[in-house]
Amino acid sequence: MTNILIADDHPLFRAALKQAVSASFSDAHILEADSLAALESLGQQSVPFDVILLDLHMPGTHGFSGLIYLREQYRKVPLIVISATEDVDVIQRAIHFGADGFIPKSTPVDTMTDAMQKVMDGERWLPEHARRAMPPTLPDLSAMSERIASLTPQQFRVMGMLMEGMQNKVIAYELDVSEATIKAHMTAIFRKLGVRNRTQAVLALKDLAIEQPAIDGN
């Protein structure tokens, strides 16, 4: 049995992808997650996966933070980003942060499932335009990945809200905790990121950000 995780917050796309995967992998057992909280729940259950299909934009994730979270939780599991963006910079950074493949959602179903199989066999798969533009060596972003991976789940949530520009009192309200608790989390986050304040933290996390397209899409 092949355990496949589809992590995407769009029900229609999940359903379509599930149908395509089921048709191509007869022994597939498909699990679904529509948010970071759902991913955390699966992680707590120690559910094993043979491959992970991840949309970069889901509730609770910010930029590449969801990718970094999953890469840390499932270090040896093939992880493929499936996204509506075809921007070369986003594709390259996804690979930098640990993705084993990147499949645009516009990819034909047959090509998509073939790409999945190649990644599961140990190959890297990228769309042709990104392969041509990929530099021979990639910048080392492992230090930032390790720092983010060291955050607790609650610190991870606070970091995401920090990236959105929320103030401490707003974060406290959203998470239903005291402002003092958020300040304590901020102190811990700054220490783990190696920064002293909010401004330095946002600058340190700039490589995680993904510019949202003007039209609807992930």
Domains of the chain: 2-132 (3.40.50.2300), 141-208 (1.10.10.10)
Whole-number Å distance between alpha carbons of 52 and 115: 13
Is the model's pLDDT at 20 over the cut of 90?
A: no
pLDDT for the residue numbered 40: 81
Is the model's pLDDT at 136 over the cut of 70?
A: no
Q: Quick one: average pLDDT of 45-74?
A: 86
Is the model's pLDDT at 172 over the cut of 90?
A: yes
Contact at 8 Å (CB) between 188 and 155? Answer: yes
Look up the pTM and report it: 0.82
pLDDT tens per residue across span 79-98 = 999 999 898 889 988 998 89
The tokens describing 1, both together, are 């049995």
Q: What share of the chain has pLDDT > 90, as a percent? A: 45
